[in-house]
Each structure stands twice: as structure tokens, then as C-alpha cells.
Amino acid sequence: MIAIVDYGMGNLRSVEKGFLHAGHTNVIVTSDPEEVHRAEALVVPGVGAFRDCRANLDRLHLSSVITEAMHSGKPYLGICLGLQILFSVSEEFGASKGLDIFKGRVVSFPPDFSSRRLKVPHMGWNSVSYSKKPPIMSGIPDESHFYFVHSYYVVPDDKNIISGTSEYGLRFTSMIWQDNIFATQFHPEKSQTLGLKILGNFGNLVKGLRI
């Protein structure tokens, strides 16, 4: 079973439908810590404010369950906020603590973007260049385009976890991978055929199928 974690901030049904469309029916949307604990894999999507994300996870007693699942080796897929919350701290609305799975910061796009006619949030289609290709990107060419909606991006201390980067006024980390942990700044569930391919690959990985 794949648990799509419901903490009140995400395109949960879109993610669920994406898995179903990709042929994976073993998914559940839940905010119950016990169901999350029993799941074989976790998906944490999200849009909105980092501080609210962490507060909701804590309030629902999900922070420790998610952290324990990752440390135990369960496959984890983070989407947008589900990527950012893995890091130590975010600059959004002052310093807010993340789950600290990875050392690093979540920072905003520079204030001079408006003078350069670059809109924030960064919204729309953009390409992803592989630094190292994770299994969930199997069958997806380098420089493929995916859908983004974000004003902040992650700056990992350990550059070895970066698996993809994108360009929007600067080059930023758009995908990370270490062992059982995969996370994207872009939204697979909004990225049409290739996005569904990512969800399908993750589901196959959980099933132990060749991808």
C-alpha cells in the first residue's frame, strides 16, 4: 500500500488519480498516523507555506511517522512542499524548521526578478536536467519538461543528493534522490504523460518490479 499523506495542503486527489491512471490501485489518501506507519511507501505532496506544512504535520502527529518511515528504508516521494520539508530550515516568513532529513535551506527567488521581467511564483512548464538519473525517471529523457508552481527552492548542503536542476533566472535544484528518498520541486500529477510515468515508476518500485 502507498499512503498519500493528507495534512491539508496538497493536490491529493490529483496525485491519487495519477497513480490510478498509471495502473496502481494500491493507494490510500490518509491523515491517520497508524495507516501511514503501516504503508509500504509514502507520498507527500503539497502547495502553500512551509511553516503551515510543518505545523500541520506536527498537529496530526505525522512528522515523526514520516521521518521514521524514511529512516527505515521505505520509498518516499515528495512533491513541491514534500521536497522542501525534508530540509533543515526555510526562509519563508522568517526561519521555520523542517524535518532535517537533509541539511540545507529553502530560499526564495531573488527580489530582482521583477526588474528582469521574471514572475514569482515560477509557474508553468520547465525542463529538468539530470545530475544523476533516479529510477523514478526511467524512460524519461533528459531535458524533459514538467509543471512547476513555486516561489522557493532548496539549497542542499550535500550536492551529491541533487539529481536534477532547472533554469529560471538562475539554476536551482528541481529534484533530489538518495537511496529510498525521491523528491521533485515540480508536480508530476500536473505534468501529463511524463508526470504519470514518474508516478507509475514509483509504484513499480514499491512493488519491486523492474523499471
Active-site residue identified among 80, 92, 122, 150: 80
CA 157 to CA 161: how far, in whole Å?
A: 9
Is there a catalytic annotation at residue 53? no
Is there a catalytic annotation at residue 150? no
Active-site residue identified among 24, 122, 150, 187: 187
CA 79 to CA 96: how far, in whole Å?
A: 19
CA 163 to CA 39: how far, in whole Å?
A: 26
Q: What count of residues does the chain have? A: 211
Active-site residue identified among 92, 122, 150, 189: 189
Strands 122-130 and 162-167: antiparallel
Residues 6+ apart with CB under 8 A from 52: 9
Indicate which residues carry an active-site annotation.
Answer: 80, 187, 189
